[in-house]
């Protein structure tokens, strides 16, 4: 089959040569004079990149920590407000039950008097 042979040829390994090996080893060691960069590869940077690699994770950590603390404070405020509403509703309910109890006692006494 022609497709099988074409696939075998396409998948055959080829030695890229010593120049490729030299470029790979130079890239690993960080030597920028070893040869041209591959297309699309970023240009090597001086000491500034080391500073940014240190500063960015620290800045991200600080930003996330501040955001987390702010979120936690907002949630605590919301919980306090909800608790205050619940306490107010409880007080209103207790007052309504006291008034209802008093009125039921008045009605009960009136019924007892009418039966005497």
* Predicted confidence (pLDDT) per residue in 63-101, tens digit: 999 999 999 999 999 999 999 999 999 999 999 999 999
Helix intervals (H) in the chain: 2-11, 18-29, 48-115
Q: Which residues of 79-100 are buried (b: 16+ CB within 10 A; e: fewer)?
A: eeeeeeeeeeeeeeeeeeeeee
What predicted TM-score, i.e. pTM, was given to this entire model?
0.44
Average pLDDT, the chain: 85
Q: Are 22 and 35 contacting, i.e. CB atoms less than 8 angstroms apart?
A: yes
* Predicted confidence (pLDDT) per residue in 14-58, tens digit: 888 888 888 888 888 876 555 555 666 665 555 667 777 888 999
pLDDT on residue 8: 83
Q: Are 20 and 35 contacting, i.e. CB atoms less than 8 angstroms apart?
A: no
């Amino acid at each position: 089959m022609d497709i099988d042979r074409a696939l075998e040829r396409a998948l055959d390994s080829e030695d890229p040569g010593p120049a490729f090996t030299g470029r790979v080893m130079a890239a690993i060691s960080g030597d920028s004079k070893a040869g041209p960069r591959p297309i699309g590869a970023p240009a090597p940077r001086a000491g500034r990149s080391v500073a940014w690699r240190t500063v960015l994770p620290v800045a991200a950590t600080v930003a996330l920590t501040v955001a987390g603390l702010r979120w936690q404070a907002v949630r605590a405020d919301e919980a306090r407000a909800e608790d205050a509403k619940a306490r107010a509703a409880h007080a209103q309910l207790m007052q309504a039950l006291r008034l209802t109890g008093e009125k039921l006692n008045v009605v009960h006494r009136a019924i007892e008097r009418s039966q005497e």
